[in-house]
Structure 1
Amino acid sequence: MDPVIIVGAGPVGLTLALALARQEVPSVVLDEGPGKDEQRPARTVVLREETAALMERLTGVRLGGPGTRWAGWRSMRRKQVMREVAFDDTEPAPLHIAQHVLTGALRAALSGEPLVKVATDSRLDAVEQETSGVTAHTRGPKGTWWRGSYLVGCDGPRSTVRKLQDIRFPGRTAVERHAVAALRTELPWTDEALLHRMPPWRTSGPSAGEITARPLPDGVWRLDWLLPPGKDLVTPELLLARIRETLAGWTGDATPSYELLDTGVHTVHHRLARRWRVGRVFLAGDAAHLLGALGTHGLDEGLRDADNLAWKLALAWHHGPQEALLDSYQAERRAVVAARLRAADQVLPLLRGSGNLRSYVPGSARNHDALLSDGHLGHGSLGAPGAYADSPLAPRRLDGEVPVGTPPGAQVADVRVTAEDGSFVQLRDRLGRGALLVLLIAPGTGVWERRHWVSAGIMPRLAAAVAALPHPAELLVAERYPGAAAHTVLLVRPDGHLVTALSGVRPADLYAAAEATLGGPARAEAGAGVSAGSS
């Protein structure tokens, strides 16, 4: 069968290629550039815990370290500290990393992957699709025709794939603008990120009512100054003045020494493609959505697009297309991103409006700071990871379903499990292989060798039920899971989202849930119309 064609060699496209390769699906990545990424220290990304774990699982590289994993977070208003967070096991730190470092790790992992071909200097200019596959044409020195089973546009905000499919991309332009600088210096705090609203010192030029400082390795910091609405030019002189007064304001003295590494202006747009699938063509990442106001992070969502789509394309590639399963990619991911965009649009007038009576309500300042912090830290409606509670793949109500600490459709907690070979691993380590995961909660098993309990109690019956499922599944055992009683059985999707939790071994319920997760007969009719939606 033909490989999957991936258009775009940014983080989302490279992640999708690696995720497909882990599930034995070949791909061709069309890279319009030379295969190298410009080193821009001021262009960084912040990834939530689960997304960072996905990157580390795919690249095989520990991406964290001093600076990249913050020790803490604080938000200030004028001279007052409004909120402080210390990151630990109960509050994991986000991952802050330069985008070229992340892309470099992905490229390094792909360099030894025989199932992935990266075609450099290959700019897409035509796509044709039939019922059996997709043909893409690239122009340039290496211009040629490529044949694929599916095609995924990961080619950014100006996506050629999206334009060739005549998909509308409505939304708002220049929702926010930030002046950005990456510099090496010493600040009064170490490895802690800071959100400072309404700093007390006089600013140069138009008001800089919000400054964000995020640490990076080797004493480097990324500083962002929120710019007022409009298109005022950010001159080098203005930016240097802001750097000097900000550093002096934070240190309480003359401007400390610093080394300026990179600068830029970051403009945030909010857009959402009307369709994410047209037949065998899909959109992901910035080609499908743009967001990023109020501390939200668009690349994080793009990487989750790739994780969601990879296992569905892999199943279709190996076993033939299940239309309801492929349609669910748009239904799930577009709903999550749309919810975050709606939340940002609702909060923006409160946080950015001037002269609004609500800004004078007692306690409103603290509430506004909390909303902004949630966006930066990955909490609340602005920042929390999306769940697929209303997914077309969700099974109908099951008789044996019980609640646990994770609601259906949400990302499962990472707990230590015993694998089928008797080894102890983390649950996240078993994700992304294309198999369903069946997790039994059995307190006390951790102190015994697997051979003593694998054939005892309910294990033989559960193992038989797992073997009978309509898709390969791996049986795992954990001593505990948040909110789960003993003998609870969890069914988990290949991308780590909970399908259901059952009280004990219920083969019929387990089979029905697995069948629904794969876009089974009961759900096929409901999901079939998504790919034909209006543009």
Structure 2
Amino acid sequence: MDPVIVVGAGPVGLSLALALAGAGVPSVVLDEGPGKEEVRPARTVVLHADTAAMVHRLGCTTLRDEGAYFAAWRTMRRRQDDRRITFEDRPAPLHVPQHALTRELRAAAVAHPLVQLVTDSRLDSLEQDDRGVTVHTRGAGTTWWRGSYLVGCDGARSTVRKLLGIRFPGRTAVERHAVAALRTELPWPGEALLYRNPPQETTSRPLPDGVWRLDWLLPARGELVTPDALVTLIRDTLAVWCGGTTPPYDLIDTGVHTLHHRLARRWRDGRAFLAGDAAHLLGALGTQGVEEGLRDAENLAWKLSLAWHQGASEALLDSYEGERRTAVASRLRAADQAMPTLRAGSGLRSYLPGAARSAESLLTDGHLGRGPLGAEPTYAPPVAVREVPTATEPGAPVADVPVTAPDGATVPLRDLLGQGRLLVVLVAPGTGVWDRRHWLGAGLMPRLAAAVSALPVRTDLLVADSYPGAPAHTVLLVRPDGHLAATFAGVRPAELYEAADTVRAGAPASRLPAPSAPASPSAPSPAHTKASTTTTPIVVID
């Protein structure tokens, strides 16, 4: 079958290509640019537990050296400490420059045999049929490409979205922020800060080597921020935080970001999909647009991999839009509802008892990946099978507990996601100290292994010594993207098969036909790629 065509080589497009490759699906990534990242220290990304684990699985193994984990999160209001949150009981957010994330993803993609990166390729046409997608690009060479599916990860001005005729309604200039990256010493090394003196609002987040990213909320319709005005803003802010005296600082990078809220009407059109900024724009109140794009990629990758390897139902492919668009729409709705309270510079809301603490709490949730503004999404399962209550509701992300695979390796559960396979986890206290040859043939394992081998989707069988809230002999069915599908009391082969079939949204109506033979160079129609592992175009026109 033809490869998947990914349009756009930012963090979302590269992550999608690598996630597909991890599931054995080849892809062609069409990059409009030259394949080099612009170094902008003031443009950063905050990764929380799920997205940090995802990019690590995709090959960004040294990214943590490029960024900084928050030592704590501190809130201040009118020069008074309000709250300090530490991360002893949960993973700390990882703050990284976006160019470092993109560079590591690109390096992993270049090294992977199933990913082909094509630079200087600007999409200008797109056609679909019942076998796949054909696109035309201009750049260093004018070329036709053939793919089984296509995903537009080409940003806010997405050419894919425009060619598909999909509307992109929303609100313009929801917030404006002045941003600076500078090297200095602050009174709280390694700790992120939210400072509010309404209507003023400033955040600082640490980076390695004494570098900080500072953000200032600007008036929605204010004057342009001149270099002199930004320097004054920096000096005044540092003086407030450092006892009235501005410490020495080295200004590295600056910028002004205007944030928009938009949501594409449709995220799927036949064999074409949208992801990342092509599908949604958000970022106000601490929400993270890049992180939501990474979640798009993880959700879509396993569904396309199933379609590529086995065929998939239309319902499964439709569920990408149903799940991800609903999750992002919920974020946008929460931000819109909170905005009047959080951004009111005066009026009754400013004087309501507890209003200040509520405002800081809402903003903190957005920045720390919690609550309606930031928590990992929960997807409503078609059928919520929950024979055994656990600390995780069906559809929610699973806890990252240590698990043991049949090869004897014990790793965090999230390290085994992203391979296009379901995971079946048996909770069996004490197995952590057993030798592999003992627990494979003991207790429920032989019957469970037989049941797993009969499932309609490729599945890995794992064992956990414990799982939050789950009694012994609980069986968990986990989707390839780490969301809990079902829980069972012991081995229930028929029910387990039914739940797995529900996860894949039923059997495909029919297998896709084999790709047609390549067209000759003189033929007017575009060409197919030769085979699933060959991703170069075979017809070049002009």
* TM-score relative to the length of structure 1: 0.93
1:141 to partner: Cα distance: 2.4
Q: In 2, Cα distance between the equivalents of 1:283 and 1:157?
A: 11
1:397 to partner: Cα distance: 5.2
Q: In 1, Cα distance between the equivalents of 2:508 and 2:383?
A: 9
The 8 Å contact of residues 308 and 495 in structure 1, kept in 2 or not, is answered as yes
The 8 Å contact of residues 384 and 486 in structure 2, kept in 1 or not, is answered as no
Please show how residues 24-43 of structure 1 align to structure 2 within 5 Å: 24-43=24-43
**Structure 1 residue aligned with 2:540:** none
Instruction: Indicate yes or no: 2:4 matched with 1:4.
Output: yes
Q: In 1, Cα distance between the equivalents of 2:254 and 2:409?
A: 48
**Structure 2 residue aligned with 1:70:** 70
Q: In 2, Cα distance between the equivalents of 1:302 and 1:217?
A: 25
3-state SS of 1:491 partner = strand
The 8 Å contact of residues 63 and 100 in structure 2, kept in 1 or not, is answered as no
Q: In 2, Cα distance between the equivalents of 1:321 and 1:485?
A: 34
Q: In 2, Cα distance between the equivalents of 1:508 and 1:492?
A: 17
3-state SS of 2:426 partner = strand
Q: In 1, Cα distance between the equivalents of 2:210 and 2:80?
A: 25
CA shift in 2, pair 1:387/1:296, >3 Å: same
The 8 Å contact of residues 42 and 253 in structure 2, kept in 1 or not, is answered as yes
**Structure 2 residue aligned with 1:423:** 409
The 8 Å contact of residues 313 and 509 in structure 2, kept in 1 or not, is answered as no
**Structure 2 residue aligned with 1:121:** 120
**Structure 2 residue aligned with 1:499:** 485
**Structure 2 residue aligned with 1:478:** 464
Q: 115-124 or 452-461, which moves further after superposition?
A: 452-461
- Deviations 1:85-134 (CA, angstroms, capped at 9, x unpaired): 1122x121111100000001101111211111111000111101111010
3-state SS of 1:64 partner = helix
Q: In 1, Cα distance between the equivalents of 2:367 and 2:412?
A: 27
3-state SS of 1:365 partner = helix
Q: In 1, Cα distance between the equivalents of 2:232 and 2:148?
A: 54
1:64 to partner: Cα distance: 2.1
1:65 to partner: Cα distance: 4.5
3-state SS of 2:46 partner = strand
The 8 Å contact of residues 182 and 253 in structure 2, kept in 1 or not, is answered as yes
Q: In 1, Cα distance between the equivalents of 2:485 and 2:99?
A: 35
The 8 Å contact of residues 395 and 513 in structure 1, kept in 2 or not, is answered as no
- Deviations 1:249-296 (CA, angstroms, capped at 9, x unpaired): 111142111111110001110000000000000000000000011001
**Structure 2 residue aligned with 1:325:** 316
Identity of aligned residues (%): 68
- Deviations 1:322-342 (CA, angstroms, capped at 9, x unpaired): 211111000000000000100
The 8 Å contact of residues 66 and 191 in structure 1, kept in 2 or not, is answered as no
1:454 to partner: Cα distance: 1.5
1:359 to partner: Cα distance: 2.0
1:380 to partner: Cα distance: 0.6
CA shift in 2, pair 1:408/1:347, >3 Å: same
Which residue, out of 257, 267, 290, partners 1:276? 267
Instruction: Indicate yes or no: 2:487 matched with 1:488.
Output: no
Q: In 1, Cα distance between the equivalents of 2:47 and 2:434?
A: 37
Instruction: Indicate yes or no: 2:355 matched with 1:357.
Output: no
- Deviations 1:16-44 (CA, angstroms, capped at 9, x unpaired): 01011111111111100000010000010
Q: Which residue identity lines up with residue 499 of structure 2 in the other structure?
A: A
Q: In 2, Cα distance between the equivalents of 1:293 and 1:60?
A: 27
The 8 Å contact of residues 395 and 512 in structure 1, kept in 2 or not, is answered as no
Please show how residues 297-308 of structure 1 align to structure 2 within 5 Å: 297-308=288-299
Q: In 2, Cα distance between the equivalents of 1:500 and 1:255?
A: 56
Q: 234-243 or 56-65, which moves further after superposition?
A: 56-65
Instruction: Indicate yes or no: 2:148 matched with 1:154.
Output: no
Instruction: Indicate yes or no: 2:120 matched with 1:134.
Output: no
CA shift in 2, pair 1:521/1:150, >3 Å: closer
- Deviations 1:297-316 (CA, angstroms, capped at 9, x unpaired): 01100000000000110111
Q: In 2, Cα distance between the equivalents of 1:10 and 1:290?
A: 15
Q: 261-270 or 133-142, which moves further after superposition?
A: 133-142
1:523 to partner: Cα distance: 12
Q: 497-506 or 318-327, which moves further after superposition?
A: 318-327
**Structure 1 residue aligned with 2:52:** 52
1:519 to partner: Cα distance: 1.1
1:349 to partner: Cα distance: 0.2
Instruction: Indicate yes or no: 2:219 matched with 1:228.
Output: yes
Q: 218-227 or 109-118, which moves further after superposition?
A: 109-118
1:453 to partner: Cα distance: 2.1
1:494 to partner: Cα distance: 0.6
The 8 Å contact of residues 178 and 218 in structure 2, kept in 1 or not, is answered as yes
The 8 Å contact of residues 155 and 277 in structure 2, kept in 1 or not, is answered as yes
Q: Which residue identity lines up with residue 200 of structure 2 in the other structure?
A: G
The 8 Å contact of residues 384 and 485 in structure 2, kept in 1 or not, is answered as no
CA shift in 2, pair 1:69/1:523, >3 Å: farther
**Structure 2 residue aligned with 1:202:** none
Q: In 2, Cα distance between the equivalents of 1:351 and 1:395?
A: 36
Where does structure 1 differ by over 4 angstroms across 4 or more consecutive aligned residues?
521-524
Q: Which residue identity lines up with residue 227 of structure 2 in the other structure?
A: P
Q: In 2, Cα distance between the equivalents of 1:287 and 1:67?
A: 26
3-state SS of 2:366 partner = helix
**Gaps spanning 5+ residues in structure 1: where?**
200-207, 525-535
Please show how residues 118-267 of structure 1 align to structure 2 within 5 Å: 118-198=117-197, 209-267=200-258
Q: Which residue identity lines up with residue 417 of structure 1 in the other structure?
A: V
Greater relative CO (CA pairs within 8 A, separation 6+): 2
CA shift in 2, pair 1:397/1:109, >3 Å: closer
- Deviations 1:27-78 (CA, angstroms, capped at 9, x unpaired): 1111000000100000101111110110011115142248511111101110
The 8 Å contact of residues 67 and 191 in structure 1, kept in 2 or not, is answered as no
Q: Which residue identity lines up with residue 193 of structure 1 in the other structure?
A: A
The 8 Å contact of residues 296 and 382 in structure 1, kept in 2 or not, is answered as yes
**Structure 1 residue aligned with 2:399:** 413
1:466 to partner: Cα distance: 0.5
Q: Which residue identity lines up with residue 498 of structure 1 in the other structure?
A: L
**Gaps spanning 5+ residues in structure 2: where?**
511-542
RMSD of aligned C-alpha atoms? 1.5
* TM-score relative to the length of structure 2: 0.92
3-state SS of 1:224 partner = strand
3-state SS of 2:452 partner = helix
The 8 Å contact of residues 67 and 218 in structure 1, kept in 2 or not, is answered as no
3-state SS of 2:154 partner = coil
Number of matched residues?
A: 510
1:354 to partner: Cα distance: 2.9
1:452 to partner: Cα distance: 1.4
